[in-house]
Amino acid sequence: MIAGIIAARVSSLRLPGKVLLKICGKTTLELMIERVKRSKTIDKIIIATSTNNQNDIIEKICNEIEIECIRGPEEDLLARYKIVSDKIKPNIIVKMGADSTLIDPLVIDQVVNTFLNGDYDYVSNYGIPKTYPEGCTADVYTADTLNEAFQEAKKPSEREHINPYIWSRPEKYRSFRVDYKKDLSNYRLSLDYY
């Protein structure tokens, strides 16, 4: 099973409550879920939020639209993803942030298909130099890679963002970056600042 896991929480230093902002009567979280549902490669969508009470509204929204919501630590995103992985038991995890409201389902599918057609532990369309717009990023891992990172990552930056642990070990993880045919990195599609 390929699980699309969207990390979402109400607290945000740069734009508090961004997942609850409404566009055309829907929260930005709902709009993102609708876009991810258009992916042909993702079998199940799960929202990973924290156990902080202010995120109860996220769980309520998920219940209303029949999307599974699983909760874990506020600051340890790696632990949150591990809790989701332990509960739903996917083979492959597609990590997305809720600030990527306008993520393109075709981009998700391109990154996932690159992963499926290669022999990789991790594939992403994020990296330096960037070629995709900010806010159009998907990271794909094997569940084993996520579990290993959970067991071994010790630095706060590795637990809060997941990817730094894998990036800093190129000799251990077979990684690949999907680049766009032209540079669109000057565009920002991320819901991040006010």
Distance CA 150, CA 111 (A): 23
**CB 78, CB 162: distance < 8 Å:** yes
90 alpha-carbon distance from chain centroid:
14
User: What was the pLDDT predicted at 194?
Assistant: 54
**CB 59, CB 49: distance < 8 Å:** yes
**CB 125, CB 136: distance < 8 Å:** yes
Q: Give the burial class of 144: count Cβ atoms within 10 A of its Cβ; 0-12 exposed, 13-18 middle, 19 or more buried.
A: exposed
Per-residue pLDDT of 117-165, as tens digits, reads: 999 999 999 988 899 999 999 999 999 999 999 999 999 999 988 899 9
Strands 122-124 and 92-97: unpaired
pTM: 0.95
- Nearest Cα to Cα of residue 133 among 179, 95, 64: 179
Domain locations in the chain? 2-177
Distance CA 178, CA 132 (A): 9
Calculate mean pLDDT across residues 88-104. Answer: 96
Say which CATH architecture domain 2-177 belongs to: Alpha-Beta Complex (3.90)
β-bridge mates for residue 71, sequence order:
49
Distance CA 11, CA 21 (A): 13
Per-residue pLDDT of 72-91, as tens digits, reads: 999 999 999 999 999 999 99
Q: Which residues of 97-122 are buried (b: 16+ CB within 10 A; e: fewer)?
A: bbbbbebbbebbbbbbebbeeeebbb
Higher pLDDT, 14 or 98: 98
Distance CA 71, CA 173 (A): 28
What's the length of the chain?
Answer: 194
